[in-house]
Amino acid sequence: MSGEAVSNNARQQWLPSWLSSEHPFPWLFPASALMIVFGVYPLVYAIWLSLERKHPVTRKLTFAPTYNWGKLLGDERVWNALANTFIYTGIALVLQLVLGMLIALLLDSDRKGYGLLRAMMTLPLVIPPSVTAMMFLLMLNGSFGVLTRGIIALGLLPPGYSVLGQSSTAMAGVLLAEVWQWTPFMVLIMLAGLRSLPKEPFEAAAIDGATAIQAFLKLTLPMMSKVIAIAVLIRGIDLFRAFDYVKVMTDSGPGTATETLTSYAGRIYFGNADFPYASTIALLTLIVVIVVSSLFMKIFKVKL
Amino acid sequence: MEQSLPVRILRDIAAVFVTALFMFPILWWALASIKPISAMFDKDRVVFFDFVPTLINYGVTLLGMSRSQLAIDAGLGMGVAGTEAYDSRRAIFDSVIVAIGSTTITMMLAVFAAYALSRMAFKGREGFLNWVLGQRFMPPIAILIPLVAIYKTVGMRDTDNLIMGYIGLMMIYALMNLPIAVLLMKSFFDDVPKDVDEAAMIDGATRWQTFRKIVVPMVRGGVAASAVLCFIFAWTEFLLSLFLTTDIRTVPVKIQTFVTSTGNEWGFISALGTAAAIPSFIFILLVQRHLVRGLTLGSLKE
């Protein structure tokens, strides 16, 4: 047997050692190449673009390292978009986490039929978000949307009210689609967490006469903290790039009421094609994501 | 903790009610796709089930039937414009090609990288893992705008060359899905005991032979689950496709073109939307078991 090993080594000797399958290089090279060409290079390009100024008439780029970043600091729409992005992310995260946990507790049962309910709960996750946005656009339509009609019938809104058409409620309408589609994400993760909990502490607590709520607060929550932190981190990153629902349902409007960082960058890109400024806003999004997620990972000691 | 009978019944009712609440938009959407226009836009009442179902919307979007001809056949005889703009067969083709192509690329690169990350000890391993994870954290908009400029320069836009356009979109989808595929596959490789590799290599197999003949067959389920998730993400993606392509119209982008200045074609929108969700539904039910692991990049197992 050792003879075979020798012959294998001998067969490969014409290759430099870093090209042999014993070396990590050939294994990692293809993935690295993709990440460099389509990830790192465009990112460096984006940084370079953000340091250029586009002449509005001649469309020539000139080097002006502080121009876009200065413009960004003084641009009220950027601050509005940043605030909207944080509001969107924060509200959606809280709602999804709380609803997700409650629904997970409800569906965490081994009895017959619950498996089917859990499977059904995963369906919203895989509908294309742009289609989900359309679904809610239809249901929230001011004149014939089924949800709008329901809300009006309950007397909560005046007849003919358009949820997405008013700046005060447009964000709530967009969030409805977001929460509907991604609460199941939290449900699934919380269910996985609940199912991995050990039984003994709960049995002991029951013998000591603890109520269900006490057991949840004192046992379930602390034991689930790692799972919750991971779910919040992953969901938070995705929420922060909010675009699909906003683009389809309100196109950032009315006015700039639902404009997020990504949708603002998109508007500039499709509007006056000011690539350097759009890139600068996109980079701001990246910087905020890095800062907030690093802080989160430090504070809550999460590691993916 | 055993629950008493009334509590159990209450819980069952609540569980069914909540699930039904989440299913309602899907049901409503599917109903909209088979409703005649009069039922959908009824000003006086909400029409639930009392309508004569029609497959007109599917005929136009999925089979490319002429809309005006259908209207005449149905005895509607109204002046409806018979444009071909609602025929979505090409969009479905584009979506399928891009989703399958990008999934293939992602999985090929990811399986190799994940194996090395799971099995080999080398300098920079942590760094590489962080790089992959960092890619997942990056908002796509940050690389999207320069990417459009780059594609323009090298002639990779679909308006320059259709084939290059497909490849361009596949590559960016592959990049987007790479982190989840690498980290997920690494977690599946980690599940295979290292003794398996070592035993094979003591028997004289090279790394490559061990990988191909022994380890990969053991993680086949993991490869399938990762590929399905990559396919779904590519199938449902909107932002990148919207920015990068003009002639190539994936379904999520195509459906937006049914929003016209004269009104939204809700029948066609809901028909194509329902049709687009069905492959995802089937796939997701196939990978239920690995879904949590996939969604958390391999860090939580069910």
Quote ipTM for the complex: 0.89
What DSSP designation does B246 have? S
Residue A160 banded pLDDT, cuts 50, 70, 90: confident
Asked if B151 is an interface residue toward chain A (Cβ–Cβ < 8 A), one would say: no
What is the mean pLDDT of the segment spanning B208-226?
93
What's the confidence (pLDDT) of residue A302?
83
* Residue from B22, B94, B259, B293 to probe the interface with A (highest A Cβ count within 10 Å): B22
To the nearest whole number, what is the mean pLDDT of chain A? 90
Does A82 lie at the interface with B, CB-CB under 8 angstroms?
Answer: no
Report d(CA A15, CA A25) in Å as an integer.
13
Average pLDDT of span B5-34: 93
What is residue B68's predicted lDDT score, i.e. its pLDDT? 67
| Domains along chain A with CATH numbers | 84-299 (1.10.3720.10)
Q: Which pairs with CB-CB distance under 8 Å and at least 24 residues apart come from A285-289?
A: A285/A85, A285/A240, A285/A241, A285/A261, A285/B139, A285/B141, A285/B142, A286/B138, A286/B139, A286/B142, A288/A82, A288/A85, A288/A240, A288/A261, A289/A237, A289/A240, A289/B137, A289/B138, A289/B139
Residue B175: Cβ-neighbour burial (10 angstroms; 0-12, 13-18, 19+): buried
Q: Which residues of A touch B208 (CB under 8 A)?
A: 21
Say what the pLDDT of residue A2 is.
43
Per-residue pLDDT for A200 more than 80? yes
Q: What is the residue type of B160?
A: D
Whether the pLDDT of residue B2 is over 70: the answer is no
Residue B221 contacts residue B286 (beta carbons within 8 Å): no
Is there a contact between B211 and B120 (Cβ–Cβ < 8 Å)? no
Q: Do B145 and A193 touch (CB under 8 A)?
A: no
Beta bridge partners of A62: A53
Shortest distance, CA A64 to any CA of chain B (angstroms): 18
Inspect the interface and report whether the beta carbons of A123 and B284 lie closer than 8 Å. Answer: yes
Listed by number, the residues of chain A in 166-185 with a beta carbon closer than 8 Å to a beta carbon of chain B are: 180, 183-185
Q: What is the pLDDT of residue A1?
A: 40
Measured in whole angstroms, the distance separating CA B187 from the mean position of its chain's CA atoms is 22
Determine whether domain B94-253+286-295 maps to CATH 1.10.3720.10.
yes
DSSP secondary structure code for residue B123 in this structure: T
Phi, psi of B260 (to 5 degrees): -115, 170
Distance, in Å, from the CA atom of B176 to the CA atom of A68, rounded to the nearest integer, reads 27
Which of B171, B139, B191 minimizes the C-alpha distance to B298? Answer: B191
The reply to whether residue A146 touches residue B283, judged by beta carbons under 8 angstroms, is: no
Amino acid at B186: K
Tens-digit pLDDT profile for residues B122-142: 999 999 999 999 999 999 999
Q: Can you tell me the distance from the alpha carbon of B114 to that of B108, in angstroms, rounded to the nearest whole number?
A: 10
Burial class (CB in 10 A: 0-12, 13-18, 19+), B282: exposed
* Beta strands at A52-54 and A61-63: parallel, antiparallel or unpaired: antiparallel
Task: Identify residue B35 by its one-letter amino acid code.
Answer: K
User: Omega into B193 within 30° of 0, i.e. cis?
Assistant: no
Give B72→chain A minimum CA distance, Å.
26
Q: How far is A72 from chain B (nearest CA, A)?
A: 15
Decide if pLDDT at A4 tops 50.
Answer: no
Pick A107's closest partner by Cβ from B15, B239, B280: B15
Residue A184 has pLDDT above 70, yes or no: yes
Average pLDDT over residues A251-277: 91
Contact between residue B158 and residue B168 where contact means Cβ atoms under 8 Å apart: yes
Q: Does B17 touch chain A (CB under 8 A)?
A: no
CB contact under 8 A, A126 and B236: yes
Q: State residue A6's pLDDT score.
A: 45
Cα–Cα distances (Å) from A267 to A84, B5, B15, B96, B241, in that order, read: 15, 57, 42, 28, 16
Angle of helix A167-195 relative to helix A221-240, nearest 10 degrees, comes to 140
Per-residue pLDDT band for B179 (boundaries 50, 70, 90) equals very high
B284, two tokens? 């997701």
Q: Which residues of B touch A5 (CB under 8 A)?
A: 204
Residue B72's pLDDT band, with cuts at 50, 70 and 90, is low
Residue A15 forms contact with B (CB below 8 Å): no
In this prediction, residues B148-161 reach a mean pLDDT of 90
- Tell me how crowded residue A274 is: count the other CB atoms within 10 A of its CB: 19
Residue B285, pLDDT > 50, answer: yes
Domain ranges of chain B: 94-253+286-295
Average pLDDT over residues A194-217: 89
Cross-strand pairs, B260: B263
Q: How far is A237 from chain B, CA to nearest CA, in Å?
A: 6
Alpha carbon B36 to its chain centroid, in Å, reads 29
